[in-house]
Chains A and B, each alone.
Chain A
Amino acid sequence: MKTILRLIVGLLAWSVSWAQTDTTKTNPGALDQLFGRDTTLQTANDVQLKLNMDATYDRPFLSVGKSPVSVGGYLEANTQYMQTDGVTEGLSFQMRRMTIFLASTINRRIKFLTELEFEDGTKEINIEFAALDIELNPMLNLRGGIIMNPIGSFNQNHDGPKWEFIDRPLSSTTIIPSTWSNVGFGIYGKVYRRNWVWAYEGYVTNGFDDRIIVNGENRTWLPATKANEDRFEESFNGVPMVTLKTALKRRRVGEIGISWMGGVFNKFQDDGLVLDKRRHVDVLAIDFNSVLPTKTVINGEWCWASVDVPTTFSQQFGRMQQGGWLDVVHPIVRRRVFGWNTAVLSLALRVERVDYNVGKFTETNDPIFDELWSVVPGISFRPSPTTVIRANYRYLWHTDLLGNPPARTAGFQFGFSTYF
């Protein structure tokens, strides 16, 4: 134990000595540059030193006078026409999200930020983030409150205006249940050296519950936990979930992150009586992003989820899931358009896959399917870096559990998303 403690203290001391001043503090006068980094390929040094974990504070805020509170938010809406094997629900107009940010610098190196989200009108109203950050050192920050678990890249970097696609990535919303936030606390930090940035995050929070295997989806479904309204009040089983992430970025090359989230999801005892063994859920994710010399942005994430499903359950409920996505965004026009000085027209392509049930049937030893493939080409126009107008075409193949001919869904989507 003492050795481990020494090791941790030593590591922190080394990191602090290695740390340099963070040159990436938000400059409100350079919003275009700041928000262009994900999509319009800005190459300024500060942008190149940002990581996915910085997304929470990488947002445009408006401060009035000397008020310590700044306000911001984003909105996304669209229309879509989708068809599955010849059957369509027709044209729909969707108000997917309106999110309001409130941030406050309480004191030097003490700040607060909250994100209040309205989804599908007022169908879902969530506090997705509400945390206090205390910076002891760039390498050691404390964060507590409702935090977004740093698993993969999308969960923390999910704002609509940053993406060229109307739908969120499938694996990042159905395996990793983005936006996945929980009550808890932890630490994070970041160090710089020449062209390198290294960062870490670690949190203990409330976690999943048994809805992930007892739900109306008829499959292992991690997002089902989000329906538990009590999860911000108490842990389902009293065992904290741990989330750890580390990311490394090389300037002009790209960023790679690896993250893990794990904990017990079932109520293994109640009132002092043992009901079951402790059943674990673990999610491992790898994310990466890079900007090629052609200004093409490559961004992707892959994740694996392992769930200890009771043997008394049907194999319909996957013990292992995996999935990921790869986005390629290439700007084809970057110039003044209709009076907008920094307008960008981009072509985009997303390829994604999700396998909700990795394994073989006990009865036949044949593979279990229940998987999706999707291809989403699109075109986007950004009159300014904080606003995107986008048109997507999606083609999706869903193969059922048994591997029967896939149901094919395709359609068109057109919409916008903007910070305000």
Chain B
Amino acid sequence: MKTLSVLLILSSLFWLVSACDALLPGTPADDQLLDGPIGDLTPEQNAQFLRGDVAFNNEVFTAATGLGPTFVATSCGSCHAGDGKGHPFTTLTRFGQIDETGNTFMQMGGPQLQNRAIGGHTPEMIPAGATSSKFTPPANTGLGLLGALSDDQILANADPNDQDGDGISGVPNWIDAPVYFRPQGFHKPQTTVSQSTRYIGRFGKKAAAVDLLHQTVNAYKQDMGITSDFDPVDPINYAVSGQAGDGVPDPEVPGSRINDVVFYLRTLRVPVQRNAGDANVIAGKQLFVQIGCAKCHTPEWTTPQSDVAVLSKKTFAPYTDLLLHDMGKGLDDGYTEGTAKTAEWRTPPLWGLGLSKNSQGGQEYLLHDGRARSVDDAIRLHGGEAAKTIERYGQLGADDRSKLLQFLNSL
């Protein structure tokens, strides 16, 4: 009887141990994830990635730690769930610039509306007379590879005067770089008549950030009201608060924290395509090229040498040319940044498009402000330089259109 009991206990323990794997939730499939590091990082790089991950996803700012006084969100992760696209709830508003001469509402809180405030402060309102546009947060994935491309590679696709006559004329957005910007060898400056030096912007809906440091410093300040060594001045609601800051000594985070977040963003993985071998997906990709989508949504790039080894000499498929294109009146909100015109938008990368629902609450909010509720909707809302391509899309049969959409959802 005792032997039987011992056997029963031992077999139960064996069953329990062997069942552990089944009882513990496993890692989601590789092609379902947007977060995690790209390739093989060194132990030192892994440590910095983790520090950046914690700062990006776990660090929540409060009034005591420098939030605001006016702000949009309390943490980076609030707007980029799982490093994916944002939701209308986290959409931000920019205002005050209508042409390349600059933002005339900077002294009234431009360029970004901080629609929330800590206690004792009042959220901003869009000043009278200012035009505005809503921006839904983009996905963060693969940004390091886009940042590693050279300006020459980007300019090679530009066709400002449409010399090839295809109706598509990509142009770079030339940006006055912030003082802390340190150009690398692949950055190509443009000296203007006024002798200021501009660089090609490549991040943001209007490509208004020249690199990920620029993007990150801006996001800390404009989204969360967090000052850093790079930009030590709080956003202020000039309409009511005078010069009242949040009372927390500046800078509120050290430069090293910003650098960790930048490294995290640089080394975030690339979305993995799903069903790449599916016949419909393959056919859909051919249609994508055939009807002209790939003229702006450039399928493939290869990075030059980079200071981060895993970003060097990598071929990747973001489906963007990082250039500005006129998208027509329908998408012209009357607001712009840098040298972009109000109807011009940077071609957004399409990688990760099929995973949008996983970060947007099971729904899709596409285009710059989330107005498109499906991929098909987003395509049909293209205008301007994309008009002919959209016409061809409309002429596709239901079967072909389905294949094209299957391809886009596989990205």
| A residues lining the B interface (CB < 8 Å) | 83-88, 210, 214-218, 266, 275-276, 310, 312-316, 361, 363-364, 366, 369, 393, 395, 400-405, 408-412
Contact = CB atoms under 8 A, between A and B. Distances in A.
B116 A363 contact: no
B88 interface: yes
B26 interface: yes
B169 to A, nearest CB: 35
23 contacts: A86-B25, A86-B26, A215-B62, A218-B60, A266-B119, A310-B119, A312-B116, A314-B116, A316-B73, A316-B74, A361-B89, A363-B91, A364-B87, A366-B363, A369-B361, A402-B89, A404-B358, A404-B361, A405-B358, A410-B24, A410-B25, A411-B24, A412-B23
Interface string B1-29: 00000000000000000001001111110
Contacts of A313: 116
B117 interface: yes
A312 B68 CA distance: 12
Interface in B293-346: none
B63 interface: yes
Nearest to B122: A312
B120 interface: yes
Interface string B96-121: 00000000000000000000111111
Given A266-B119, A400-B81, A402-B361, 5 more contacts: A83-B24, A85-B25, A214-B119, A312-B116, A314-B116
A316 B90 CA distance: 10
A402 B89 CA distance: 9
B398 interface: no
A312 B117 contact: yes
Nearest to A315: B89
A217 B59 CA distance: 9
Contacts of B64: 214
Contacts of B60: 215-218
A364 B89 contact: yes
Nearest to B58: A216
A27 to B, nearest CB: 37
B88 A363 contact: yes
Contacts of A83: 24-25
- Top 8 nearest A-B pairs by Cβ distance? A86-B27, A402-B361, A408-B25, A363-B88, A403-B361, A218-B60, A83-B24, A312-B117
B123 A312 contact: yes
A393 B82 CA distance: 27
Nearest to A218: B60
A218 B78 contact: yes
Interface centre among B27, B89, B362 (most CB of A within 10 A): B89
A412 B11 CA distance: 18
B228 interface: no
A389 to B, nearest CB: 15
A390 to B, nearest CB: 15
A402 B25 contact: no
A76 B119 CA distance: 41
B27 A402 contact: no
B358 A210 contact: no
Contacts of B150: none
A364 B365 CA distance: 11
Contacts of A218: 60, 74-75, 78
B132 interface: no
A88 B27 CA distance: 10
B359 A402 contact: yes
A86 B28 contact: yes
Nearest to A409: B25
A147 B123 CA distance: 40
B75 A410 contact: no
